[in-house]
Structure 1
Amino acid sequence: MSSVGTPGEGQYWYNVSTKTVEKGPQSDWSQLLGPYDTAAEAETAMAKVQARNEAWDEAEEDDA
């Protein structure tokens, strides 16, 4: 008998609605960023998203 768990179980997720870190996907997938290997990585998820968005916006401006 196999012990297949929930995908992402044991990993960390950032919930964009509650602005909290969850261990294992506890909320609806549409509210989560991740998975991340550590809680610290998940805590910085929104900062990474914002930095990437800014970089993409700058690249689009350069292309125009």
Structure 2
Amino acid sequence: MTNPEYWYNTRTGEVEKGRQSAWTDVMGPYPTQEAARNALKTAAQRNENFDAAEEAWEDEWDDS
């Protein structure tokens, strides 16, 4: 038996067990309900990390 996947529905704010909605309305899959529930927080943190890395990279090239 496979483990269920969880999806965060951005339209409703609900966690879905198995993808039940259109791909345009969901983020995932996530391995747990908790991970799906934190989808927006996780995405925001990843964006911050990417922005910081990009800024550091640009600063490094500007100094060259």
TM-score range, shorter chain: 0.7 to 0.9
TM-score, length basis structure 2: 0.75
Query: Residues 11-52 of structure 1, C-alpha deviation per residue, up to 9 Å, x if partnerless?
Result: 210011211111111110121111122211111111111000
Task: State the 4+ residue runs in structure 1 displaced beyond 3 angstroms.
Answer: none
Measured in 2, the distance between the counterparts of 1:36 and 1:57 equals 23
C-alpha RMSD of the superposition: 1.6
TM-score, length of structure 1 as denominator length: 0.75
Listed as ranges, the gaps of 5+ residues in structure 2 are 59-64
**How many Å separate the matches in 2 of 1:32 and 1:44?**
13
Identity of aligned residues (%): 45
Q: For residue 24 of structure 1, what is the aligned residue in structure 2?
A: 18
Which has the higher Rg, Structure 1 or Structure 2? 2
In structure 2, what residue type is equivalent to 1:49?
Answer: A
Give runs of aligned pairs for residues 6-21 of structure 1, distance below 5 A: 10-21=4-15
Aligned length: 56
